[in-house]
Structure 1
Amino acid sequence: MSTISIATAKEVFDLLRDDLAAIEREFTRQSASPVEVITDIASYLIAGGGKRIRPLLLLLSAKALGCESHSRIRLGAVVEMLHTATLVHDDIIDEADSRRGRPSSNTKWGNSKCVLAGDWLYMQSFQTALEERNFRVLDLLISLTQQMVEGELLQIQKLGHLINEEEYFDLIYRKTACLFQVSMQLGAVVSSQAGENGEYAFDSQLGEYGRNLGLAFQIVDDVLDLTATEEVLGKPVASDLREGKATLAVIHALERGTGAEREQIRTVLADRSFQRVSHPQILEILHRHGSIDYAMDTACAYAEAARQSIAELPASDARRALMWVPGFVTSRDR
């Protein structure tokens, strides 16, 4: 690799190709159950692909600190298993019909089997993590799971209601950014021994990187939900509004719109449909007040904050790759 500060996509892929393939194999192995339906659902979810950005972050965090042990593969599978379990439960809660351009697992197997398969994946991820024999690993994963469940419950309570930016950022931290943060911290934990104060080298800096990147990631996700096409997104567009969720661009427009515009947005959130107010009408309001640009600018600011968080990390190919990831997050189209 060259010595410039930010890697290219090809360099990142070349750096992680073997490790990501190893994580995929580990995930598949850990997801096998004597109960056939669990294996079937897990295999279907694994085959659905995804960005694998959480294990990618854990790998880069560990590599940046010189870790080459199997722990990075095992825990990479753990964070992807946890993420997959949340997707199963999210689809059930949201009554989703599709994900990544395919029928959602609950559409194929029904809610009852899928909620239990999601529970199994949660428990299997902890069973796998136990092999590390490291209390810090378990502490991070338990706290993470509590945050994610609390975030989901808080979001359900707020469906159809107006929320402010502070509430929005609390929600997306719990639902998304917390897992990014923990993925980075796990990389630090497996890379070194705890110091006298119980802290690991670069734990806070890497965790802050993950937090900022996760916030940027979810803001972009929310913008794409409003602006992308169903063909590109792989699921119905404007799902958030139809589920009664107010995301950052919508909150921005609500604070700046006219009385009539605010009433149109409130109608969609309350109805959880576009029967009385159309999706193009909402988009027109958002564009009129620069709300989409505002949300993307905010995402880019968090992405840059992620880069700044690791300024003191030792120079390496992994750090250069970590400098690349924020740009990928904010420029993607799905």
Structure 2
Amino acid sequence: MGVVISLKEGTDRQASVKPLVELTKGDMERVNQLILSRAGSDVQMIPEVANHLISSGGKRLRPMLTLASATMCGYEGEGHIRLATSVEFMHTATLLHDDVVDESDMRRGKSTARMIWGNQASVLVGDFLLGQAFKMMVEVGSMDALDVLSTAASVIAEGEVLQLSIAKNMETTEDDYLAVIRAKTAALFSAACEVGPIVAGKGKAERNALKSYGTNLGLAFQLIDDVLDYGGSAKDLGKNVGDDFREGKITLPVVLAFRRGTAQEREFWREAIEEGRNDDAALEKAMALITKHDCLPDTIARAEHYGSIARDALAPLPDSPEKDAMLEVIAFCLHRAN
């Protein structure tokens, strides 16, 4: 069962990441070459595991944002290539670790690395990629960029632990959940955008603008992911619809459905999430309750709120093709739920 959610009328339904892809195409070719080079190792399993995920078709949105942020700030050096690659390695390491923690079987339409090579290999290769990421940050020679990205790595880990601590707990509040995704997802988007003006030598105004843009884009992006888990398709998600439910994950649609439900409905959620009674029939009922209480449209509305903050964050910056492309990325992220 799926629920197709339309965004409000009057929005641009053709929003795309293509302008960003085209603007960063040349630099992304260099990033991809560096990714392949730095994922290499004499230990055969390391490139095998790393390339399984690296080559699996992700959009590489975060490194493209690093490149675009640097270019829109007038940067003409080489450091943004290493920083963008560092960002992608941090993201890939997080995915490898996430799949182990979440016991996920599928990622971007393929078996997860842990299903092929095991949990230990996935964790250790993730650690290798983090090490390579930090090595490249040091090579750039910017202490501020190193500070921003290393802080993000720490915050992401905190977010993972926080999510683990509230897992399968139906008393989780919306504020609790937002704290998790602010750390797990928004922190890397934020850092990816902030290091652009840093390496370009810009001041606080540009750094704060792009940091805010990244943070709020990341929040919007994750909230739409939450919607797609209950109202999307496996093609949209790169994983099975309902995986969050089966894994006992507390996401915003579940928080809202639980808070708005009757006593009987809340008991269903406790049994499904806390006690693991989450078969296909339970997923069907969960989707029905989420629909009944308008949880998907309201989650989209919250995502649109953060999208508006991201748009406003870029408003003071000079017009440029990169700025236009980054604005369109906001619309693209939101319209994935359409």
SS at match of 2:140: coil
2:196 is aligned with 1:187: yes
Give the letter for the 1:166 counterpart: D
Partner of 2:323: 319
Q: Is 1:161 aligned to residue 169 of structure 2? A: yes
1:21-36 alignment, distance < 5 Å: 21-36=29-44
Are residues 1:16 and 2:24 paired?
A: yes
2:314 corresponding residue in structure 1 = 310
AA in 2 matched with 1:192: G
Using the TM superposition, name which of 176-185 and 11-20 deviates more. 11-20
Correspondence for 1:225: 229
Q: CA deviation at 1:130?
A: 0.7
Residue 53 of structure 1 deviates from its aligned partner by 0.9
Residue 301 of structure 1 aligns with which residue? Answer: 305
Task: Determine the structure 2 residue equivalent to 1:93.
Answer: 101
Aligned to 2:11: none
Question: C-alpha offsets along residues 238-282 of structure 1, whole Å, 9 cap, x if unaligned?
Answer: 122222221111111212111111111221111334239521211
Counterparts of 1:93 and 1:12 in 2: how far apart (Å)? 32
> Which residue identity does 1:191 align to in structure 2?
A
Of 251, 268, 274, which residue of structure 1 is paired with 2:272? 268
Match for residue 175 of structure 1 among 181, 184, 187:
184
Equivalent pair of 2:20/2:68 in contact (CA under 8 Å): no
Residue pair 2:220, 2:302 contacting (<8 A) in 1 also: yes
1:46 aligns with 2:54: yes
Greater alpha carbon shift after TM alignment, 117-126 vs 253-262: 253-262
Deviation (angstroms), 1:182: 0.3
Partners of 1:273 and 1:230 in 2: how far apart?
22
Q: C-alpha separation between the residues in 1 aligned to 2:47 and 2:197?
A: 31
How far apart are the structure 2 equivalents of 1:73 and 1:25? Answer: 10
Measure, in 1, the Cα distance between the counterparts of 2:38 and 2:336: 30
Q: Take 1:13 and 1:30, find their aligned partners in 2: how far apart are those partners? A: 22
1:141 aligns with 2:149: yes
Residues of 1 paired with 2:36 and 2:277: CA distance?
A: 38
Q: Percent identity?
A: 37
The match for 2:66 is: 58
Give distance in 1, aligned partners of 2:44 and 2:280: 45
Alignment of 1:63-78 (within 5 A): 63-78=71-86
- Structure 1 counterpart of 2:181, one-letter code: I
How big is each residue's C-alpha offset from its partner over 1:274-298, in whole Å with a ceiling of 9 and x where there is no partner? 2395212111111111111000111
Shift of 1:233: 2.5
Rounded Cα–Cα distance in structure 2 between residues aligned with 1:255 and 1:49: 37
Of 198, 204, 208 in structure 1, the residue corresponding to residue 208 of structure 2 is 204
User: In structure 2, what is the equivalent of residue 3 of structure 1?
Assistant: none
Counterpart mapping for 1:224-303 below 5 A: 224-275=228-279, 278-303=282-307
3-state SS of paired residue (1:96): coil
Q: Distance in 2 between matches of 1:120 and 1:43?
A: 13
* Structure with more contact order per residue of length (Cα contacts < 8 Å, sep ≥ 6): 2
8 A Cα contact 1:26 1:77, kept in partner: yes
Runs of 4+ displaced beyond 6 Å: none
Rounded Cα–Cα distance in structure 1 between residues aligned with 2:145 and 2:235: 39
Code of the residue aligned with 1:285 in structure 2: it is L
Structure 1 letter corresponding to 2:259? E
Shift of 1:8: 6.2
Decide which moves more: 53-62 or 213-222.
53-62
Letter aligned with residue 234 of structure 1: G
**Shift of the alpha carbon at 1:76?**
0.7
Q: Check conservation: 2:245, 2:283, Cα contact below 8 A.
A: no
TM-score, with structure 1 as normaliser: 0.92
CA deviation string 1:16-64 (max 9, x = no partner): 2212222111111111112111111112221112021101111121121
CA distance in 2: counterparts of 1:34 and 1:273, whole angstroms: 45
CA contact (8 A) 1:264 1:277 kept: no
Residues 320 and 288 of structure 1: is their aligned pair in 2 closer, same or farther, counting only changes over 3 Å? same
Q: Which has the larger displacement, 268-277 or 253-262?
A: 268-277
Aligned-residue CA RMSD in angstroms?
1.8
> Which structure 1 residue ranges, 5 or more long, are not aligned?
1-5, 194-198
Instruction: Indicate conservation of the 8 Å contact 1:268/1:276, yes or no.
Output: no
Rounded Cα–Cα distance in structure 1 between residues aligned with 2:266 and 2:104: 27
**Conserved in 1, the CA contact under 8 Å of 2:220 and 2:303?**
yes
**More deviation, 156-165/16-25:** 16-25
> How far apart are the structure 2 equivalents of 1:319 and 1:309?
11
The aligned runs of 1:1-12 (5 Å cut-off) are 9-12=17-20
